[in-house]
Structure 1
Amino acid sequence: MNLPAAIVLLSFASGSAISSPPRPAMRADRRLAASARFRLRGGAAEMSFATSVAPVLGATMANVMFASGFPEVLAKRREGKLGDYNPLPTPIVFGNCLGWLSYALLSKDPYVTAANVPGLLLGFWYVLTCLPLASKPVAKQMEVTFLVLAAIHAATAVACAFFVPTRAGMASLYGIVSNLILLAYYGAPLSSIGKVVE
């Protein structure tokens, strides 16, 4: 056997660089193997958790949070008076959920929609129930809060309709407005804490 034939034979046997490039089917097999290794490292499960499990948990927690006031508001309705119940968060629940629902519809997000439709309905019911039971100063504060939130949403809707050119921009504007309202929602119980401290 001559030397060039021996080199060719050895290179085929060892799979060295002299062999032909891999066929497309072999490249696809390598990609599948690489994606399988990625899944084994937790990548696919992590993506699945982030895109499906976490949003469902978030929507569930939001609905539990918005429904948590239902038994107490129902009891106050039966009693015919609010007593020491702070109704100020109720219009904020409505305004918060209206903002997030607008954001969800603009961004076509089913999880944010599911998290805020029940809250919107509950918030509206809370306001309708608590307003006639509240003392005049508290009722006035609720009305002012509700009207301010309605004005904010009207201004945001006008801005979206006439000044924001893209759907993504509209969703971003509603996201910013909704986050600001959310800060008010989480800050509303502080008025009750202030009364307790006094």
Structure 2
Amino acid sequence: MTTARYIALEGLEGCGKSTHALRLATSLDAVLTREPGGTRIGALLRGILADPDNTDMNPRTEALLMAADRAQHFADVIRPALGRDQHVVSDRSVYSTLAYQGFGRGLDVAILRDISKWALHDHFPDIVVYISVPTEILNERLAKRTPDRFEREGANFFSRVNDGFRTLIHTEGDWIIVDGTQSKEEVEKAIYTAVTQRLKELS
């Protein structure tokens, strides 16, 4: 019986997910991946989704491209790794779809959940880490890099996404919440300590 777990890091743009997904995966000797873009096909879809020239993309198109990426991701990366009894650490997951395309774009969250369940064969993340950072700090961090299509969205969009994540924190089970305003070393330690404890509880 496998003891491997599917671990997802979530949060708004600029919160440090990518950095800490890498650090956690290294510490756990886990498979590191991301959504969208964790597979060859997913990388092509990510390019379409992130391209600033695609500002005319319909929200349903966006959601379906995310679902297509997720289905390929589960088939190519997540399921095989878990089958080898190896943990998976993913930079974003289904919960980003619920927050961004659901709350952010105003699509039906229940429909998005059903599509994602189908894409994931009902296997949602076993452990979710949410890195919490105030929006004013996120804005300062994002100002230092070239924005993609999502990062060019206005404050109202990200306010809705933030509200979405806050709702999910209270409705989707026992997420691990980490203060992302700490130093990178402190955030890394907090994530590792909480995740390893949760892994023990799930074993």
- Same-fold call, TM cutoff 0.5: no
**Greater Rg over alpha carbons, structure:** 1
More strand by share: 2
**Higher RCO by CA contacts (8 Å cutoff, separation 6 or greater):** 2
TM-score (norm 2): 0.29
TM-score (norm 1): 0.29
